[in-house]
A and B are shown apart, each in its own frame.
Chain A
């Protein structure tokens, strides 16, 4: 990934930047999903980060290295606020209630022209600026900045995933009643996962806002959320790498199918259905078969397939 941009044409570097931002988004989505809570407001939290960073950069003139973590923190705080009513629900209720609450936040941006700019959103968001001779307006420097931030975020999330906290998340997914009975405060851990996921989504949002220079509520709508689901479902969520594979493959398909014009949503709708029915474990479920094929004995034993979102609601 580090030498790639020097061979690629400028436009493709731009696609790679978007790809990296989407990697953060999808990986942070999985972080929440490991507890069994699939949300439908993750793209809205990306927007919270984007709006927060844009507002701070525009009104206070703060530099990107300050606004980006603060954007993450803002998204995390908003996540903390909305997870409270959401915790009252599990499984599908959580999913659908998060959709409604996400829509609520989006409507706030539409309703309040000051400071969010209403339906048209915000324009003239400052660029990241320069660092010595490097101008981050240019594609390649921005690409490397995004690459570093993405790597840092992904490594942190990977560490969380492999830590006790990550195991606790997964134990809640496996059986939340059992987890509660051995003294795990299920609500706290579900909130923690949600807030952490929101935090990283917020950072992705900051990266997006300062690359686009303009944002509006439309970018964070339900259609974009369903595209995120397409990535996550196509990749799978059982392993850490699943969503990353999903983003990579689906981004490629997305660019490749441009000539389809108005047919394209139909194509992706069919892909989504196809994966959920015929390959519920996602592309990652192919990996163990793949590694076995090459006789790699160190390969991790094939995990039980984790179909997208499978979780029986507690009755």
Chain B
């Protein structure tokens, strides 16, 4: 591998890892609080991209503003999902997961009906051009994902460890009953967790919109990757999910560059199976998957 290719691949790995991490933290958080496993998480990502399509490509708003708009929009969808699907199926993780598989179909069809099928949506690149690092060319649009993801993950960390509400969320994830005894409302916490999960999936999709083919089915491929990240990281562990996201980002990107993307996904799955065999709790988890 040439040096330029190598550097480019490293940069692509970091970008992929950033996106995986932003998508997977929400999944891990929601799973930690009352075991909400969201099959439609990939569709939240897709809807985030459509928010950018509607407000930036069609509405003419500035790109960063459209990305920020994706946060409340998809958070609301997350809240609705919690209220309408996860709360009625609480205590039965598989039922929630399967019901959100139904939601996946609903959201895919709805997006196709509202914004049309045919080819990918036309989204202008907000930041054209490329950065040159040691001979490697990396599109600016990709580069900005890295600081954006860092800020988002930092904010989440701050919220969970420094803000009272966030601490309550962690307490609820660790022991819901004890948290309830402390006067923390489980319903509020599950809603909050799903809101955050939606917001993070949505904003990841929004950031990816200019460099990804935006179609109603763009979330499908992400789902398996995101769940592998969560399993490898240790189901409910957010730190584990971030670590696993970057590991998987490197694995996928390097294998894709050297061999092909199919092999990349296969090695990712094999990695997960390996982790399950040697350390069933995942990299940083306490709970067996």
Would you call A147 an interface residue if the criterion is a C-beta within 8 Å of the partner chain's C-beta atoms? Answer: no
State A55–B22 Cα separation when bound (angstroms): 43
Q: Which of A85, A103, A108 contacts B276 (CB 8 A)?
A: A85
Q: Are A262 and B109 in contact (CB-based, < 8 A)?
A: yes
Q: Which of B91, B113, B231, B269 contacts A93 (CB 8 A)?
A: B231
Q: In angstroms, how far is the closest chain B Cβ from the Cβ of A91? A: 6
Q: Are A100 and B224 in contact (CB-based, < 8 A)?
A: yes
Segment touching A, from B8-16, B98-106, B130-138? B98-106
Given contacts A85-B276, A277-B85, A99 and B227 within 8 Å (CB-CB): yes
State A189–B109 Cα separation when bound (angstroms): 41
A95 neighbours in B (Cβ, 8 Å): 94, 97
**Which residue of chain A has its CB nearest to the CB of B39?**
A226
State A265–B40 Cα separation when bound (angstroms): 14
Q: Are A92 and B37 in contact (CB-based, < 8 A)?
A: yes
Number of interface residues of B (CB under 8 A): 46
Q: Are B95 and A308 in contact (CB-based, < 8 A)?
A: yes
Q: Are A273 and B262 in contact (CB-based, < 8 A)?
A: no
State A191–B136 Cα separation when bound (angstroms): 50
Fill in one digit per residue for B134-157: 1 if any A CB lies within 8 Å of its CB, else 0: 000000000000000000000000
Q: Are B102 and A269 in contact (CB-based, < 8 A)?
A: yes
Q: In angstroms, how far is the closest chain B Cβ from the Cβ of A110? A: 6
Q: Which of B74-97 contact A (CB under 8 A)?
A: 85, 88-89, 91-97
Would you call B110 an interface residue if the criterion is a C-beta within 8 Å of the partner chain's C-beta atoms? Answer: yes
Would you call B61 an interface residue if the criterion is a C-beta within 8 Å of the partner chain's C-beta atoms? Answer: no
Listed residue (B101, B109, B220) with the most chain A CB atoms within 10 angstroms of its CB: B101
Given contacts A100-B272, A111-B263, A92 and B95 within 8 Å (CB-CB): no
A270 neighbours in B (Cβ, 8 Å): 102, 106
**Which residue of chain B has its CB nearest to the CB of A263?**
B109
**Which residue of chain A has its CB nearest to the CB of B268?**
A100
Q: Which of A50-86 contact B (CB under 8 A)?
A: 84-86
Listed residue (B117, B269, B272) with the most chain A CB atoms within 10 angstroms of its CB: B269
Q: Are A276 and B227 in contact (CB-based, < 8 A)?
A: no
B97 neighbours in A (Cβ, 8 Å): 92, 95-96
B89 neighbours in A (Cβ, 8 Å): 276-277, 280
Q: Are B92 and A269 in contact (CB-based, < 8 A)?
A: no
Q: Are B227 and A101 in contact (CB-based, < 8 A)?
A: no
Q: Are A276 and B98 in contact (CB-based, < 8 A)?
A: yes
**Which residue of chain A has its CB nearest to the CB of B272?**
A100
Would you call A307 an interface residue if the criterion is a C-beta within 8 Å of the partner chain's C-beta atoms? Answer: yes
**Which residue of chain B has its CB nearest to the CB of A119?**
B262
Would you call B277 an interface residue if the criterion is a C-beta within 8 Å of the partner chain's C-beta atoms? Answer: yes
Q: Are B106 and A308 in contact (CB-based, < 8 A)?
A: no
B280 neighbours in A (Cβ, 8 Å): 88-89
Q: In angstroms, how far is the closest chain B Cβ from the Cβ of A166? A: 21
Would you call A180 an interface residue if the criterion is a C-beta within 8 Å of the partner chain's C-beta atoms? Answer: no
Q: Are A108 and B266 in contact (CB-based, < 8 A)?
A: yes
Q: Which of A107, A108, A310 contacts B95 (CB 8 A)?
A: A310
Q: Are A100 and B269 in contact (CB-based, < 8 A)?
A: yes
Given contacts A85-B277, A100-B272, A92 and B103 within 8 Å (CB-CB): no
State A309–B109 Cα separation when bound (angstroms): 26
- Give the size category of A's interface with B: 35 or more
State A84–B280 Cα separation when bound (angstroms): 12
Would you call A104 an interface residue if the criterion is a C-beta within 8 Å of the partner chain's C-beta atoms? Answer: yes
Q: Which of A38, A103, A262, A311 contacts B112 (CB 8 A)?
A: A262
State A91–B89 Cα separation when bound (angstroms): 15
B165 neighbours in A (Cβ, 8 Å): none
Would you call B199 an interface residue if the criterion is a C-beta within 8 Å of the partner chain's C-beta atoms? Answer: no
Q: Are A99 and B224 in contact (CB-based, < 8 A)?
A: yes
A269 neighbours in B (Cβ, 8 Å): 101-106, 109
A271 neighbours in B (Cβ, 8 Å): 102
Would you call B287 an interface residue if the criterion is a C-beta within 8 Å of the partner chain's C-beta atoms? Answer: yes
Would you call A314 an interface residue if the criterion is a C-beta within 8 Å of the partner chain's C-beta atoms? Answer: yes
A310 neighbours in B (Cβ, 8 Å): 91-92, 94-95
Given contacts A107-B266, A269-B104, A93 and B288 within 8 Å (CB-CB): yes
Q: In angstroms, how far is the closest chain A Cβ from the Cβ of B38? A: 11
Would you call B207 an interface residue if the criterion is a C-beta within 8 Å of the partner chain's C-beta atoms? Answer: no
Would you call B47 an interface residue if the criterion is a C-beta within 8 Å of the partner chain's C-beta atoms? Answer: no
Q: In angstroms, how far is the closest chain B Cβ from the Cβ of A281? A: 11
Q: Which of B243-289 contact A (CB under 8 A)?
A: 262-263, 265-266, 269-270, 272-273, 276-277, 280, 287-289
A265 neighbours in B (Cβ, 8 Å): 105-106, 108-109
Listed residue (B85, B105, B228, B280) with the most chain A CB atoms within 10 angstroms of its CB: B105
B204 neighbours in A (Cβ, 8 Å): none
State A271–B287 Cα separation when bound (angstroms): 33
Q: In angstroms, how far is the closest chain A Cβ from the Cβ of B217? A: 10
A residues touching B (Cβ–Cβ < 8 Å)? 38, 84-86, 88-93, 95-97, 99-101, 103-104, 107-108, 110-111, 222, 226, 229-230, 233, 262-263, 265-266, 268-273, 276-277, 280, 307-315
Q: Could you list 11 further interchain pairs (A-B, Cβ under 8 angstroms) beyond the known A97-B272, A230-B102?
A: A92-B289, A93-B235, A93-B288, A95-B94, A100-B224, A100-B273, A101-B269, A104-B269, A226-B102, A266-B106, A314-B288
* 10 closest residue pairs by CB, A with B: A309-B94, A93-B289, A269-B105, A272-B102, A269-B102, A266-B109, A265-B105, A269-B106, A104-B269, A88-B280
- 6 contacting pairs across A/B (C-beta < 8 A): A86-B276, A96-B97, A104-B266, A107-B262, A266-B110, A276-B89
